[in-house]
Amino acid sequence: MREFVVEADGGSRGNPGPAGYGAVVLDAASGESLVEAAEYLGVVTNNVAEYRGLLAGLRAARELDPDARVHVRMDSKLVVEQMSGRWKIKHPDMKPLAAEAARIFPPGRVTYEWIPRAENKHADRLANEAMDAGARGERWSPADSTAELDAGGAAGRRARGARTGDERETGAAADERAAEGVGAGARAGGTPSLSARAGTESAPRAGAGERVGPTAPADDEDAPSTSARADAERARTGAVADAARAGGGAEGSRTGAVAESSRAGAGEADVRAARTVASPGWGPPDMGAPATFVLLRHGETPLTPQKRFSGSGGSDPSLSSVGREQAERVAASLARRGTIQAVVASPLARTRETAGIVAARLGLEVTVEEGLRETDFGAWEGLTFGEVRERYPADLDAWLASPDARPTGGGESFDATGARVAATRDKLVSAYAGRTVLLVSHVTPIKTFLRLALGAPPESLFRMELSAASLSVVAHYADGGASVRLFNETSHLR
């Protein structure tokens, strides 16, 4: 079942006065802005405008998927509390609006959350655009809207979502806007005019950018490295830590050492991760929903802290206790998001074990895909980077210099890995069009998915860090376009 986030707002410049609403529907898995809606309402009150924004957001979500679950986020305490059933609806103008909102989705499929006004900037900006257009005698136009960019886009949404639960509660206690009727227009204090034309809501947008996540402290044994020639060597091996650059060999971020107190923020981190998205694009509206690949790197194995090559031609290690704990944590995080519709894994033990833990939590089966396996590192399997440098210096230099060079002993080149991953991508895009799928794989295949999506050269692999049990997201559209929406997300491990 798909899950949407609806952010809505409304305001009146006078209360009652010239009013408008704004609403945006987001994909809960990736945070992509799917539909924007805004409209000038004439002279009404703030609260009526807020309810009209809610109605528009719910209707837009239903148009996308009538069977979806919806989480509504508004900075109107009045609307949130009334729709949640905690406050009575007494005003005669509100009762029919609330009743209509309750009928759009079946009972139990819509939840409500109050958020501070600073976290509702996108919907607020849409409402102000609609009021500005109305003041000019025009209708709001989605083609001319800059609401998402004005609100800070993906970066702004991440920043606004960074408040803790305690901070939200404090803000809720201080915010009396709902009862006093201070709406979007009143708090805006006037906004720049837009060249609006006609229209009431936009078609789904295709993302066209990338979000680079936090630098990981370490990658894993799939491809170890040393501090020498750090940039080139860590990319080839797919596994260099910040510590490795400084000459250290220990993994810097391990879930076994995470304090219990940090678990309390997991839900908030999941919300932030689910709303993370690339900048919106301007693709045609008829491409349909993309195949969304949530790329999960397996958890740690005993070889991870030792920084040993561990591809598809070696001992095929299982997860360590730390790796199993990481898998449990990512499973809990993905279960809270509730958007994964299928699970596909590499055939290697560490990925199948990670996928099994997640799939069991989600109530799904695991499909094994050979094309998701790690690169075969030939005679280097089980060795550290330093050991390879000592035993096979010429072969290592050639491998670091060219993506078509193979590891000693007939291993797989990165060119070969890239061709394999591209073929696997095409196969999975066709099989899972319009669905959100968890792909459990390894450092090299995941980085290759990202490189191909960005249209980047092979040397871009040199510039990516990928942590154990990290999440990245790529969406693939029917026209062949792709959008990198998330990279190396690890908040679920902290």
Distance CA 157, CA 118 (A): 10
Q: Is the peptide bond preceding residue 16 cis, with omega within 30 degrees of 0?
A: yes
Q: What is the CA radius of gyration of the chain?
A: 25
* Annotated catalytic residue, options 374, 381, 465, 489: 374
374 is a catalytic site residue: yes
Residue type, 175: D
Taking each continuous run of H as one helix and of E as one strand, the counts in the chain are 18, 11
- How would you list the strands of the sheet with 471-476, edge to edge? 366-368, 342-345, 436-441, 291-297, 471-476, 482-489
Q: Which two tokens stand for residue 250?
A: 């220990």
Q: How far apart are CA 473 and CA 484, in angstroms?
A: 6
Q: How far apart are the first and last CA of the chain?
A: 28
Q: In 253-340, where do the E strands start and end?
A: 291-297
C-alpha closest to that of 219 among 301, 277, 276, 320: 301
Strands across the sheet with 17-27, in order? Answer: 33-44, 17-27, 3-12, 69-74, 110-114
Structure-token match 């920084």, residue found: 307
Q: Which two tokens stand for residue 406?
A: 């193979």
Catalytic hit among 71, 122, 298, 442: 298
What is the secondary structure of 125-155 as a DSSP string? Answer: HHHHHHHHHHHTT----GGG--HHHHTTHHH
Place of tokens 């609330």: 98
Query: How far apart are alpha carbons 292 and 30 in whole angstroms?
Result: 9
Could you tell me whether strands 17-27 and 3-12 are parallel, antiparallel, or unpaired per DSSP bridges? antiparallel
Tokens 């099994």 belong to 356
**CB half-sphere exposure, 352, CA atoms < 13 A:** 11
Give me the phi and psi of 110, to 5 degrees please.
Answer: -125, 130
Query: What phi, psi does 21 have (nearest 5°)?
Result: -130, 165
130 within 8 A of 140, measured Cβ to Cβ: yes
Long-range CB pairs of 395-400 (<8 Å, 24+ gap) are 399/236, 400/229, 400/232, 400/233, 400/236
Say which residues have a Cβ less than 8 Å from residue 371's Cβ, sequence separation at least 6.
420, 421, 423, 424, 427, 445
**Does residue 122 carry a catalytic annotation?**
no
CA atoms within 13 A on the CB side of 10: 31
Residue of 304, 220, 282, 356 lying closest to 33 (CA atoms): 282
Catalytic site residues? 298, 374
